[in-house]
Amino acid sequence: MKTTDIFKLSLNSLTHRQLRSWLTILGIIIGVAAVIAMLSIGAGMSQSVESQMSNFGADILTVSAGYTQAAGTAGGFADMPQGPGGGERMMMDMRMMMEEDDSDDPTLTDTDLYAILGADGVEAVCGEIDVGRVEVDYLSESVSVSAEGIDPTTWSEITTSTVESGRFLNVGESSSVVVGYSIAYEMFEQVLEVDTQIKIESKTYKIVGILSQSGTGSFGGDDRTVFMTLDAARSLADGLDSNEYSSIQVKVTDTNYVDEIIENVETVLYSSRFVTEDTKDFTVTSPTSMLETITSTMETLSFFLIGIASISLLVGAIGIANTMFMSVMERTRLIGILKSLGSKNSEIMKLFVAESGIIGLMGGLLGIFLGLILVGFISSAGLTFMGMGRQMGTSTSVAVVTPELILFALFFSTVIGIVSGLIPARQAAKLEIVEAMRSE
């Protein structure tokens, strides 16, 4: 038989058993759609997180009070800030979440700040105070945002944020604030402008600067943060003395020697805090180590999603094998006739392999189409109910579909179909002519 004849017979067989064929193809469709959706979501999440991490400032270290072996690896993504300047607060927040709520917890002071400033490789330091969530009132509206206390003398050197309008804070402006992009333009019905008066926890402050957009959403970042002087922050925060900080941000002179500079910072802190490596009561973290941890987590998640999708394809493959076994049983007499007319065993085998391959190919094509619909729906919905979404960044999406992924899904589904039909095809090819002809 010619190759064209083999495909014609295969298509004819499938069209004469439309219901069974479509039910079999449906199993592959669901499996391929699951693969497309799962891998796209995994790739999109990784791309979004890596995109935001790239803006955190590779030359910024964060020193936090307290120490744990799990430092820098724990914490949830739901509260992780993003955008320029967001990484510093992310590491500080994660550090705070791992500390116990105890009155004897270690703190960071001016002594530590000046000691760090004297370490080799350190260009600038900035003490910061994490106030937490505060209520911001404007006219009759009230919103909940994050508040940070910063040192105006060095913050402009440390932060990667830029001012869209107005300016940064000056020393002594305890009644002035700089607000993030979302607070100014999105969170209130009326736009907040420079010199606008707002209330934070019933205290009146004047906006002197509005930061450029850095990415909004559940990750927050600078877009949903109010920045004030250290004195103003201490008046809102609880449990901090006049010379204490929640964290200290450190700008290094050369990002190529971050590990060495971290060791230098730790060395001077051992002396200033009178501790050793065994009694260490502080943690130094960097965006580089944080990125490695997050990347590892995302790779594990992607592997898990692939496993789930593979189960769907396995079920589809079993369905194809079952259909092909039934097809061999139903067409035993036809096989005998073909053999009596001179068809070779290899041609009989090709006939059934082609049939199962067509099922896999059709399932792959329709599965890709369904998968793209699912990906589009997920991206448009933004996964807001999961605390993630398009708002993770201005140029990234929840799900990313690449041409390579589509080609892989189509190739894999076709191979699944062919492999699933091999055993039934081999069984058909082994049938003896006499036995096949006597079949009812």
Whether 122 maps to a domain, the answer reads yes
Position 25 in a domain: yes
Same domain, 199 and 271: yes
With beta carbons less than 8 A apart as the criterion, state whether 225 and 184 touch: no
Q: Give yes or no: residues 205 and 311 share one domain.
A: no
Q: What percent of the chain has pLDDT over 70?
A: 79
Measured between alpha carbons, how far is 66 from 99 in angstroms, rounded to an integer? Answer: 6
* Domain co-membership, 190 together with 153: yes
* CB contact burial 220-231 (16+ within 10 A = b; e otherwise): bbbbbbbbbbbe
Which residue in the block uniquely carries the two structure tokens 């010199």? 195
Distant-in-sequence, close-in-space partners of 239: CB < 8 Å, separation ≥ 6: none
Q: What's the average model confidence in pLDDT over 274-278?
A: 89
Specify whether 167 is located in the same domain as 271. Answer: yes
Q: How confident is the model at residue 439 (pLDDT cuts 50, 70, 90)?
A: low
Asked if residue 316 and residue 185 are part of one domain, the reply reads no
Boundary residue ending a domain (252, 285, 318): 285
Do 64 and 40 belong together in one domain?
A: no
Q: Of 285, 318, 342, which one is at a domain's C-terminal end?
A: 285
Please indicate, yes or no, whether residues 146 and 268 belong to a single structural domain of this protein: yes
If asked whether residues 231 and 273 sit together in one domain, one would say yes
Query: Which among 224, 258, 285 is the end of a domain?
Result: 285
**pLDDT tens digits along 25-82:** 888 888 888 888 888 877 777 776 666 655 556 788 889 888 755 443 333 333 344 4
The model's pLDDT over 342-397, given as tens digits with 9 standing for 90+, comes to: 778 778 788 878 888 888 888 889 989 998 888 888 777 655 444 444 344 444 45
Place of tokens 């209330």: 199
- The verdict on residue 292 lying in a domain is no
Alpha carbons within 13 angstroms on the beta-carbon side of residue 128 total: 29
Question: In this structure, what token pair is assigned to residue 26?
Answer: 């449906």
The count of other CB atoms within 10 Å of the CB of residue 189 is: 8
Flag whether the pTM goes above 0.85: no
Burial of 347 (0-12, 13-18, 19+ CB in 10 A): middle
Q: How far apart are CA 230 and CA 336, in angstroms?
A: 90
Q: Are residues 169 and 107 in the same domain?
A: yes
Q: Tell me, yes or no, whether 260 and 316 share the same domain.
A: no
Token pair 């062919």: residue? 418
Token pair, residue 190, equals 């009326």
* Partners of residue 137 on adjacent β-strands: 142, 199
Whether residue 28 is found in the same domain as residue 168: no
Burial (CB count <10 Å: 0-12, 13-18, 19+), residue 310: middle
Q: What is the SS3 assignment for 252?
A: strand
Residue 355: domain span: 3-52+298-438
Give the separation between CA 36 and CA 370, rounded to whole angstroms: 9
The structure tokens 């700089």 sit at 178
